Amino acid sequence: MNNLQINKNQSTLLLDFFEDLKGKLMPTVQILQLRPKLLATVDSHFEGDFDFIIRKRDVYDVLFLIYDSCKKSGVNFTLHQVYKNKRIFKFFISNPETYAITVEFWTAIEYTDRGALKSFKTDSIFDLIASKQLSAPELLTLIYITHLYHKKKNAFSDENTYRFGVFLADLNGTENRQGESEIALLLRAIGDRQISLADANRNALNILRRAGLRSSNSLVKDTTFFLAGLQKKVFNLNGIVPVVGPDGVGKGSISDQAISQLGNWLPFRYKELYRLRKVYKLRKLLIKDSDHQPDNMLDEQINHYILFASYVTIRLLPRVKKSKRILLDRYFPDYLATPIRYLDNGVTPRKIPFYNVMLRLVPPPNSMVFMGCKTSSLAERKNELPVVSIDFLQHLYCEFILKKRIPVVLFLSTENEIKISSEALARFLNSSN
């Protein structure tokens, strides 16, 4: 099969996946597409991005639903969490630079008012729609007008001309609510060049405020974001990229093939961070019948020792390995729950005592790799974990990624051929240098 045919197959798979994903998201969370996208050709789907607003409380559900859909369908994605008010997903099969669908999920809408950057929380937007002060088409039209001014857009480009038509059609199709005719007239005035974007922005903001939409406290948000960025510079791990995913997902084989394509990366097992010969043996002596238990079973009884030991040794690892960068097999989340491997008498996995404290101490990496596949595939490859443990860990990984706000995460569906996954990983690691 030639490259043209491969790209065509991948584009079709991505388009089908995206439609299916939207169908799953709509009934699961509150979600609205911010702006219609001009899709003149098939390739238009892979240019620019799709923007959606969601409630902040739904971010976790969105991530897990995306992860669950991707792992089963063979679609990979990168997640970027470096922005204050949005998270960016880039869905692809083999190479995100050829065919990829980019989706941005916003939890606050940015706008400019009298030269100052401000924002509306999406929670307030959804609440306003529920109150029926403004309909969804009315709100989205007003937000779109503020977007044109905020981003200094060309209101007369082909795409914005198309959007004007869609918004006007949606406005005409809504019930007659407060400000509807005013909003339609305002949009037409922009299209007819009868009003500047600055004045249109001012009018749109006045309508929104009159309806009860209030901006969030930008000073508090900006300060929090600044301090979080400062904390990342001080505490985030450099030179170490963890790889997480359930046993049997392919972490080892894919990592080995990826590293073989690169010259400055080394594989390292997380267990070596805490299985320090004398210290680990001493800790085992405190466990009853430790001589008759395998190390993996003992580990599930000493999670806090493992975590505290790893907090120290992981900081030393880059110095020991000097100029090499480390691809780390497993990470702290694997030890934030117990039991995982050995479930007796109906016991189920649970978070360890003082989970939130221990999580707060975990150093976030700047980049991370998260692998997944169908549960049935795991059973065929390496049936070491109970299904309930697999599910629990997958939820824990997603929670970790969001709570620690890992800047860049690569998710790989190992339903693909190992060559596709290893090349995608090598490409990601190369860009992390």
Query: What integer pLDDT is reported at residue 179 of this predicted model?
Result: 46
Residue boundaries of the structural domains of the chain: 3-218, 236-275+304-431
250-271 average pLDDT score:
94
Query: What integer pLDDT is reported at residue 1 of this predicted model?
Result: 46
Q: Which CATH superfamily is domain 236-275+304-431 in?
A: P-loop containing nucleotide triphosphate hydrolases (3.40.50.300)
C-alpha distances in Å from residue 57, one per residue of 4, 275, 413: 42, 38, 26
Query: What integer pLDDT is reported at residue 98 of this predicted model?
Result: 87
Residue 76 bridge partners (DSSP): 92
Burial (Cβ within 10 Å: 0-12, 13-18, ≥19) of residue 219: exposed
Query: What integer pLDDT is reported at residue 430 of this predicted model?
Result: 93
> Per-residue pLDDT tens for 344-376?
878 899 999 999 999 999 999 999 999 999 999
Task: Report the C-alpha gap between 376 and 328 in whole angstroms.
Answer: 26
Find the range with the poorest average confidence among 18-27, 271-280, 332-341, 419-428.
Answer: 271-280
| pTM flag (> 0.95) | no
297-321 average pLDDT score:
89
Query: What integer pLDDT is reported at residue 60 of this predicted model?
Result: 98
Query: What integer pLDDT is reported at residue 174 of this predicted model?
Result: 61
Given a contact cutoff of 8 angstroms between Cβ atoms, the answer to whether 50 and 69 are in contact is no
Residue 314 pLDDT class (50, 70, 90 cuts): very high
**Shortest CA distance to 394 belongs to which of 356, 315, 340, 324?**
340
> Per-residue pLDDT tens for 280-296?
766 766 676 666 677 88
48-55 average pLDDT score:
97
Higher model confidence: residue 7 or residue 349? Answer: 349
Higher model confidence: residue 267 or residue 172? Answer: 267
pLDDT at 127 over 70: yes
How much is the mean pLDDT over the chain? 90
Query: What integer pLDDT is reported at residue 420 of this predicted model?
Result: 96
305-329 average pLDDT score:
90
Query: What integer pLDDT is reported at residue 166 of this predicted model?
Result: 96
